[in-house]
Amino acid sequence: MATYIDLDSFHRNFQGQPNSASYKIYAEQVKTWNRAARQVNAHSSRPGSRAVEFSQSIQCKHVTLPYTEVKYVGDDGTVQTTHTADLQRLYLDVHNDRYNDKHLINTIDNKVPKGRFALTSEGVQYDSGMNPKWVKFSSRMDQVIRFSRNEALEVNIMQEEGKTIIIEDAALTPTDPNEAPALTKGLQTWILLELVPYYRDGDYNNHSLGLTQF
């Protein structure tokens, strides 16, 4: 049985995080998450096999971006502008502070060392007035990585060259200083992840490089 993580940037801590495509989910925001979907056994059912690693098999089901212009900083330091509807693909990085494995996607000249998922555009979604509102992306891959459900989580959405896109959210400043700024609903991002417990046993110990062993 899988569990799902639904990440809506509208619910992030806006303080110091104006970019809805790059933000951090703090430990106190995930303390109510279930640590595991079910109980699992740390020992192989086959005699003589040794448990090597428990990880999570994670699949990115969907990423939705607002239909809007976005910016990114090029290699020469200049700010470039593009549109979410013109992006053929995205790269997504989601990781814990403690488990920040890189180079999980091999590209020419290693353009996206931080990328964990490659997503392709599925088209534009329109509202009831036939106005373009969202751009949808999906992935056909999954990653088996170390992932903790009770630690801070980094989220980073990148364009085709591996540059973090910038979706600036000009939040309205409330008149009451005790109130949080009001975010713009139409400038948020949405990510849906599927998590399945993944079990490695002694038959695959040649894949255990860099992984925590019991």
pLDDT in tens, the chain (214 residues): 688 999 999 998 887 888 999 999 998 998 888 776 555 555 555 555 444 445 678 899 999 999 999 999 998 999 999 999 999 999 999 999 888 888 999 999 998 999 999 999 999 999 999 999 999 999 998 888 888 888 899 999 999 999 999 998 766 566 666 666 678 888 999 999 998 876 554 444 544 444 554 4
For residue 42, tell me if it sits in a domain: no
Residue whose C-alpha is closest to residue 55's, from 141, 138, 142: 142
d(CA 91, CA 8): 17
For residue 146 the two structure tokens come to: 């170390």
For residue 206, tell me if it sits in a domain: no
For residue 212, tell me if it sits in a domain: no
Residue entry with tokens 């290693």: 110
pLDDT computed for residue 38 by the predictor: 57
For residue 82, tell me if it sits in a domain: yes
Q: Which domain holds residue 127?
A: 3-33+51-201
The number of folded domains in the chain is 1
pLDDT computed for residue 206 by the predictor: 47
182 backbone dihedrals φ, ψ, rounded to 5°: -90, 115
> Are 12 and 25 contacting, i.e. CB atoms less than 8 angstroms apart?
yes
Stated length of the chain: 214
Residue entry with tokens 């990115």: 60
For residue 78, tell me if it sits in a domain: yes
For residue 61, tell me if it sits in a domain: yes
For residue 211, tell me if it sits in a domain: no
d(CA 94, CA 191): 10
Residue entry with tokens 């994670």: 58
Residue entry with tokens 């459900």: 149
d(CA 109, CA 29): 37
Strand 3-8 with 22-25, pairing: unpaired
d(CA 143, CA 145): 6
For residue 44, tell me if it sits in a domain: no
Strand 142-145 with 69-73, pairing: unpaired
Q: What is the pTM of this model?
A: 0.81
The type of residue at 110 is N
